[in-house]
Amino acid sequence: MELLNTLVEKGLRRELPTREEALAVLATSDDDLLDVVAAAGRVRRKWFGRRVKLNYLVNLKSGLCPEDCSYCSQRLGSKAEILKYTWLKPEEASRAAAAGVAGGAKRVCLVASGRGPTDRDVDRVSETISAIKEQNEGVEVCACLGLLTDGQAGRLREAGADAYNHNLNTSEATYGDICTTHDFGDRVETVKQAQAAGMSACSGLIAGMGESDADLVDVVFALRELDPDSVPVNFLIPFEGTPLAKEWNLTPQRALRILAMTRFVCPDVEVRLAGGREVHLRSMQPLALHLVNSLFLGDYLTSEGQAGKDDLAMIADAGFEVEGTDTTTLPEHRVPGGTCGDGGCGDGGAGGCHGAAEVPEQAAASGDAPSDEVRRGLVAVRRRGAGTELPPNA
């Protein structure tokens, strides 16, 4: 297919596809799906080989958020029966992080619900970062605390945070449909603050919220412009008790096309398979490894993921390898001090907190797809790990 040849050539050169080309990936047929995966897989292997980076979420503070992000089980007015607790102590967070590291995670992602941290919260998280780094040599720590105010990014960096996550989630044009308490520009500003403070930026999207193909392409192009080092791609987990509980719009094929499009637009960036993979990709998860070079191990913030040992087995069975701490995730040209100085995502310039479907008419065409009831049964509220007495999944 001419489109795929063009996209592979561009991806190998880190050249930005056109919007039309990105849209055309989303419009490919199921008959062409394996060709799309194979083409994007060539780009993935060029920049990341067969390595898979594992990341581990620790939910430092769960639920009771004053913001109204409609996809989020922790939102204002959420009726979802999730765990609710206030800040974990540094040693509690460190214990949870250690379980993830023991399970193979290279990065620990410290997440807290809320609009953004107070300065006291930044102090707490700084203590937690110190505890985790003392007890887990070589681990990367990413903070995800919401919107930052002046000076907070610098303080987190000084405390040892390697990265900061704040997702754009959806297109600027539709942002107001999913949240009214902050806007797209607020999110962009926080990602820029993290970058300016010297942290590696992590920013991604959530697919399956009823958005159009154009919205998906818009948000991925906006991410490319922002040039994060990692781009988590979440697939909406439609939690009962949230406004998007009925948005069961994705098919595994649609999810794979979204991941392939993201890879073509951000060829040399860590594209991370994030929340919702088990629910929406289901038995097709191994194919996604040809597109992403990173995923979350174990559980999510408020829902349970596949058992950590099953993640490891899936990676090995599919012929991939877990990336060790002795390997740099990003290609040399994206690493500060690397020999190729021409910049970031291609032309130089990525359910849960703050960030972590196919359109309905396409979903309707999949006559044999599991019913909504069956898919709802795949969503399990997290009842183990951080904030509980039970051991974490890692």
Q: How far is the CB of 65 from ligand SF4 (least distance, A)?
A: 3
Tell whether residue 113 is a contact of ligand SF4 (CB under 6 A): yes
Tell me which residue of 172, 179, 177, 216 sits closest to 357, measured CA to CA: 216
The answer to whether the beta carbons of residues 104 and 56 sit under 8 Å apart is: no
Cα gap 351→244, rounded to integer Å: 12
List 169's β-bridge partners, or say none: 205
Please give the C-alpha separations between residue 68 and each of 33, 170, 212, 352, 390, in angstroms, as whole numbers: 36, 15, 22, 13, 30
Yes or no: say if 60 and 85 are a contact pair by the CB < 8 Å rule.
no
CA end-to-end span of the chain = 41
Window 263-302: residues binding ligand SF4 (CB under 6 A): none
> Of the candidates 74, 94, 152, 306, which one interacts with ligand SF4 according to CB under 6 A?
74
Check residue 354 and report its DSSP letter: T
The residue range among 41-49, 72-80, 240-248, 318-326 that interacts with ligand SF4, by the rule CB under 6 A, is 72-80
Say whether residue 69 binds ligand SF4 (CB under 6 A).
yes
CB-based contacts of 35: which residues, under 8 Å, 6+ apart?
Answer: 1, 4
From 4, 24, 43, 67, residue interacting with ligand SF4 (rule: CB under 6 A): 67
Pattern 152-181, ligand SF4, x by CB under 6 A: ------------------------------
Could you tell me the smallest distance in angstroms from the CB atom of residue 190 to ligand SF4?
Answer: 11
Among 8-16, 65-73, 93-101, 364-372, which window interacts with ligand SF4 (CB under 6 A)?
65-73
Site residue total, ligand SF4 (CB under 6 A): 11
Q: Rounded distance, CA 153 to CA 159, Å?
A: 10
Is 272 a known ligand-binding residue?
yes
Q: Phi/psi at 212 (nearest 5 deg)?
A: -90, 170
Our CB check for ligand SF4 shows the closer of 113 and 306 to be 113
Q: Strand, helix or coil at 235?
A: strand
Judged by CB under 6 A, the chain residues 209 through 248 that form the site for ligand SF4 are none
| Burial per residue of 123-153, b for 16 or more beta-carbon CB atoms within 10 angstroms, e otherwise | ebbbbbbebbbeebeebbbbbbbbbbeeebb
Q: Which is nearer to ligand SF4, 90 or 114 (CB)?
A: 114
Site string for ligand SF4, 127-156 (x = CB under 6 A): -------------------x----------
Binding-site residues for [2Fe-2S] cluster, in ranges, read 109, 142, 202, 272
Binding-site residues for [4Fe-4S] cluster, in ranges, read 65, 69, 72
> By the criterion CB under 6 A, which residues form the site for ligand SF4?
65, 67, 69, 72, 74-75, 113, 115, 146, 353-354
Binding-site residues, in ranges, read 65, 69, 72, 109, 142, 202, 272
